[in-house]
Amino acid sequence: MISANKTLGQHFLANKGIIEKIILAAGLTKEDVVLEIGPGLGALTFELSKRVKKVIAVEKDKKLAEVLKEKLAEQKINNVEVMVGDILKFLDSGFMLRVSNFKVVANIPYYLTSHLIRLLLELENKPENIILMIQKEVAQRICATDKKESLLSLSVKFYADPKILFYVSKGSFLPPPKIDSAVIEITPKKSPAPIEPDKFFAVVKAGFSAPKKMLISNLAKKFNIDKSQLAIIFRTIDISCEIRAGKLNLDQWLILAYHLPNNRCI
């Protein structure tokens, strides 16, 4: 009998109703190729296989992957390719560049969330759409509004439009995690942002280096720019010199990054 590996953050989705909601949310067709991350015992995999052209399932746990391959063979399902490996290394390998169009549908381990989303959104060949089951609180942080932005939310919004589709109670999993989850949709933007990612993220990271301090102080320290010079820029683009990093929305960050000189962060 296969049991969940706590080290890999495994919690198997067992609620068939939730699986069906995820499938419907993804808007899948028979022409779609789907990347599934951490398929586990295949509860979602089998349902995906019925609705799409191909499923590429990447599983880090070798034992689970072998069990899944056996189950697929028993049911004569031949449109699922199970690959053993770390999804972060898999994406870095360039494999997905060989797939012209694909979607991501996955129930991912919580520890992977921020790094995985960033990698997916920075792929040269980005997914058409991303449907992920993640920790409820992280989903709320990603989709934050009302002047509660974070480095995570801005990292996602720079590349995509995120929204929470629905919440999932911990009782929907075996074994149950300690916290509830949320299914989030992340839709990559069709047009790139009007600023280079490296400069944008350098400015945002500098701004959030001390979140409780004023933004102007953080930028002055990290970029070695005089506060008086920054104050002129802030007033020019109608941003308060007393504002903190979490209070700026994406558009304000883009404008700020555009106007800052190209000083290197220290």
> What's the number of domains the chain is made of?
2
Q: Are the beta carbons of 212 and 183 closer than 8 angstroms?
A: no
In a domain, 63, yes or no: yes
In a domain, 238, yes or no: yes
User: 84 and 107 in one domain?
Assistant: yes
- Which pLDDT does position 99 carry in this prediction? 75
User: 165 and 210 in one domain?
Assistant: no
In a domain, 169, yes or no: yes
Q: Going by C-beta distance under 8 Å and a sequence separation of 6 or more, which residues neighbour residue 238?
A: none
User: 208 and 184 in one domain?
Assistant: no
Residues 192-208 have a mean pLDDT of 93
Identify the domain boundary among 188, 219, 236: 188
Residues 31-51 have a mean pLDDT of 94
- Which pLDDT does position 265 carry in this prediction? 64
Q: Name residue 81's amino acid.
A: E
Report the distance separating Cα 86 and Cα 59, nearest Å.
7
In a domain, 144, yes or no: yes
Range of the domain at 207: 197-259
**pLDDT tens for each residue of 103-130:** 999 988 778 889 999 999 998 889 999 9
User: 140 and 75 in one domain?
Assistant: yes
**pLDDT tens for each residue of 76-102:** 999 999 999 999 998 887 766 677 789
Report the distance separating Cα 184 and Cα 107, nearest Å.
10
219 closest CA partner among 237, 238, 232, 204: 204
Identify the domain boundary among 142, 166, 188: 188
User: 146 and 81 in one domain?
Assistant: yes
pTM of the complete model: 0.89
60 closest CA partner among 123, 106, 20, 26: 106
Q: Are the beta carbons of 103 and 28 closer than 8 angstroms?
A: yes
In a domain, 264, yes or no: no
User: 202 and 183 in one domain?
Assistant: no
Report the distance separating Cα 51 and Cα 27, nearest Å.
10
User: 180 and 82 in one domain?
Assistant: yes
- Which pLDDT does position 1 carry in this prediction? 44
Res. 4 pLDDT band, cuts 50 70 90: very low
User: 226 and 179 in one domain?
Assistant: no
User: 47 and 163 in one domain?
Assistant: yes
Q: Is the pLDDT of residue 7 over 60?
A: no
Residues 161-175 have a mean pLDDT of 91
User: 228 and 165 in one domain?
Assistant: no
Identify the domain boundary among 131, 160, 188: 188
Report the distance separating Cα 131 and Cα 181, nearest Å.
13
Residues 222-245 have a mean pLDDT of 96
User: For residue 131, what is the domain's CATH number?
Assistant: 3.40.50.150
For the chain, where are the E strands, in sequence order? 12-13, 33-37, 54-59, 80-84, 103-107, 130-135, 160-168, 173-174, 181-188
User: 212 and 157 in one domain?
Assistant: no
